[in-house]
Chains A and B, each alone.
Chain A
Amino acid sequence: MRTTRPRGVASVAMGTLLALSLAACGGESEGAQLAGQVSDKKITVYSGRSESLVKPVLDDFQEASGITIEVRYGETAAMAAQLQEEGRRTPADVFLAQDAGALGAVAGEDLFAGLPDEVLDKVPAAYRDEGGEWVGVTGRSRTMVYNVDQVAEEDLPASVFDLTEPQWKGKVGVAPTNGSFQAFVTAMRVEHGDKRTQELLDGLRANDAQIREGNGPIVADVDKGRLAAGLVNHYYVYELAKEEGTSVDALKAKNHFFPNGDIGALVNVSGIGVLKGAGDDPDARAFVDHLLGMPAQTYFAQETYEYPLVAGVASAPGLPKLSSLNTPDIDLGDLDDLQTTIEMIKESGLA
């Protein structure tokens, strides 16, 4: 996708600038440590997942394996952009991302080394890349969060498309700039085509959907009764309960999982890919194995309330089983065409 010529021109131009601006600055970094077959007991992880969610798992890994992890935390999208910008010279060995789309974007620039079958096979086919570039670590279901005082159970919609009906006017919160919303829209395009998707987006806009910066504010507003409902990921009610020191049952905000394989119940993943330079690095492999191991999977189930993807690990109490959810049949590897999705979201006026 990227040609080499402009990079060369830019390098020369910037090199001139460098010569002008920096006389001599000694760098202590030794450059990229070359990954080889030999373990150097050190890996660099770019994490699009926040520190408070994954640090305990990383600490466990360091302790158990003796491998030191250097972690760089950032937003998944910014991390993906950084990796694309760094290209093959990235210091990163592993990319831990918040959603399949970001993994797809990095895979699209041919930066991942690919994973062996014995790793991929730990996770159901629906939650990993078809080409084996990355593998899912946890599942995150889309849901509709609603306020129990404002929405009666019998009025809960059977499909996300129902939200363009007049009875939902001005009542539904969405976060169009959020990665999980955008993945949901992309999935809808894959399943229902661009025309129907654009109709839904325009319909949401016309129905005065309330725009929020992220899922957290939507769930908080639903719980306080400022919004009747909103399109979010399933674990935000748990996060809110945790932050407020109460139980999920005590909240006014409840999850509604769309039935019948409706696209509104898409299950996206957080996942991991190994970068080209670390393809043979046993340390990087050990890290991937750790994330797909029992202790880490159990941690994610119990502490971040996501769905464990490896068989034999129970999900958090109160959550319907992943296998019981009637999820749409979507190949997550197809969620990387975000360009069109953005155009469509922009066109609808939602962002």
Chain B
Amino acid sequence: MASTAVVRRRVRRMLPRPALAAVATAGVGVALIPLVYLGVRVADAGWARISEEVFTARTGQLTARSVALAGVVTAASTVLGVASAFLVTRTDLPARRLFGVLAALPLAVPSYVAAFAWVSTVEGFEGFWAAALVLTLTSYPYVFLPVAAALTSADPAQEEVARSLGSGPWHTFITVTLRQIRPAVGAGALLVALYVLSDFGAVSVLRADVLTRAVFTSISLGFDRTGALVLATVLVALTLLIVSGEQLTRRRAARYARLGGAGRPPTRLRLGRLRWLGASGLVGTGALALGVPAASLARWFGEGVSRPGSLTGLATAAGNSLTVSAAGAGLTMLLALPLGLLGARAPSPVAVVLDRLAYLSHALPGLVIGLSLVFFGINVAYPLYQSVWLLALAYAALFLPLAVAAVGTAALQAPPALEEVARSLGRRRPHVLRTVTVPLAAPGIGAGAVLVFLTCMKELPATLLLRPTGMDTLATELWSQTSVSAYAAAAPYAALLVLLAAVPTWWLSARTSGLAPGGGS
């Protein structure tokens, strides 16, 4: 067997750092639980049922509309996110710090709250374009945050070189800066696209007829799990397409890591009169994304006579929200860490596949994730069933990509040369990981944890199915009140949810856009 050595070498090239790859696989395993469930259930349904559900004009329409909605929202969010990030980090815009926070804060508003706000403010506000507007306003921070971070930490030397060679500021931006931040733009846009595919809140309230809504309708119209799950596989197929599409653009994007030295602030573009145009654009976006929900919530408080049970009820729900979200964020980060590091430090076909697999559950509606973990909990992990840990597992399956992206970006920005030095000095890999890589990447990892935490706070359908019996969170209480049209009673829960989510968002924006004192290093 002379070829065994060759095979082994080839395998090693494909599978570098086996330990890391093994742990990373575990993380992906969690993200794949819903897919295994889907596969089994759909196979169980039989081919006749599948084709009867999938190959219909209606499913075709729904799919086309889902794709169109994801496309429109992603394009709009990318433009809005990149433009605000550029204005905030690279120009002499007035009150940049304030605008940086303003551009990130919509992340604290759950899409269903924003949708309710718009519906109750604008007469006849519904359908595709209504959903596109609301989803853009709630999800463009997914682009803003990574792009602002990339713009802050990108090496200004390259731009300076371009400028010194006679390139104008706009030309430099397009040829140099945009190339530098392309991975960040791509990662943000991918998250937006998958978020739109999986969102149920906004499309349901605004009655945009897309796949997710059809999945929910199948369940509520006649308790038809099979139909719902078959439709959900179409979402998985779409995710596969989008994720591999993004992978193609990523391959062409260059990797830039800044080596050594303290970061210098990049030169800021003087906008001249355009300053006020830029500022009013940001103010306008903020007013639409935050002002409308705020005004609407204030009106809910005043309208109606239903009142929330008690302050203790509110405090308990808030406490529960914080607990389950912390558990979710903790578990998700734990699973994301090896994956993110593997992708950044030991890129290989296996690492790429694992990374992409982690995204597959991200576009599934929370209801499907919820049902799959009910199944998993009942049949496989019964002691965990209806415990906080199974809910945390659902959050991990849903939000792993957010965490992996954060870890990956952070690790990419920590120069590998430092690790190589440590290795050359005889340190073993785990030691280097602990003493060099993780501390360097820690701020980025922290940001990822905060992002996941925040997203868990807003999650609704999976939380409803999986929370421990008797445990209410802010999101479930809010849902419970709005479902009986008790808006005044729902208002405090909605307000507290947004306020609690705003704190980490504020921290995130201040940190990521490098605007906090001492930030941006």
Contacts and interface: CB of A to CB of B under 8 A. Distances in A.
B304 A243 contact: yes
Interface stretch (A7-15, A164-172, A326-334): A7-15
B221 A31 contact: no
A243 B305 contact: yes
Contact of A27 (B306, B387, B484): B387
B371 interface: yes
B486 A11 contact: no
Interface residues of A, number: 69
Interface string A92-106: 000000000110010
B483 interface: yes
A15 B335 contact: no
A244 B304 contact: yes
A220 B303 CA distance: 14
B207 A211 contact: yes
Contact of A9 (B40, B376, B387): B40
Contact of B386 (A26, A29, A176, A177): A29
A17 B375 contact: no
Interface string A165-197: 000000000001111001000000000000000
Contact of B379 (A2, A14, A91): A14
B29 A21 contact: yes
B44 A177 contact: no
B36 A14 contact: yes
By secondary structure, the A interface counts as helix
Given A82-B465, A85-B378, A213-B204, A339 B387 contact: no
A81 B485 contact: no
A20 interface: yes
Contacts of A312: none
Contacts of A177: 217, 220-221
Contact of A17 (B33, B305, B387, B484): B33
B128 to A, nearest CB: 14
Interface string B457-496: 0000100110001101000100011011111110000000
Interface in B173-208: 204-205, 207
Contacts of B485: 216, 220, 239-240, 243
Contacts of A220: 485
Interface stretch (B12-20, B133-141, B222-230): B222-230
B381 interface: yes
B222 A52 contact: no
A78 interface: yes
A26 B388 CA distance: 12
B222 A72 contact: no
A72 B484 contact: no
Contacts of B27: 21
Nearest to B226: A339
Contact of B375 (A10, A20, A70): A10
B383 A27 contact: yes
A345 B221 contact: yes
A50 B483 contact: yes
B470 A6 contact: no
Given A6-B43, A70-B470, A74-B465, A17 B32 contact: yes
Given A6-B40, A10-B375, A245 B469 contact: no
B503 interface: no
Contacts of A242: 305-306
Nearest to A12: B380
A22 B376 CA distance: 13
Contact of B222 (A7, A182, A216, A243): A182
B37 A14 contact: yes
A322 interface: no
A44 interface: yes
Contacts of A84: 223, 225
Contact of B469 (A44, A53, A240): A44
A89 B386 CA distance: 12
A27 to B, nearest CB: 3
Given A13-B36, A14-B33, A18-B381, A105 B223 contact: yes
B25 interface: yes
A13 B40 contact: yes
Interface string B337-381: 000000000000000000000000000000100010011101111
Contacts of A82: 371, 374, 465
Contacts of A31: 382-383
B253 interface: no
Contacts of A75: 220, 464, 483
A339 B378 contact: no
Contacts of A6: 40-41, 43-44
Given A9-B40, A27-B383, A243-B305, A17 B371 contact: no
Contact of A85 (B29, B375, B386, B393): B375
Contacts of B389: 25, 27
13 contacts: A6-B41, A11-B380, A18-B381, A21-B26, A75-B220, A81-B225, A85-B375, A89-B382, A105-B223, A243-B488, A244-B305, A339-B222, A341-B222
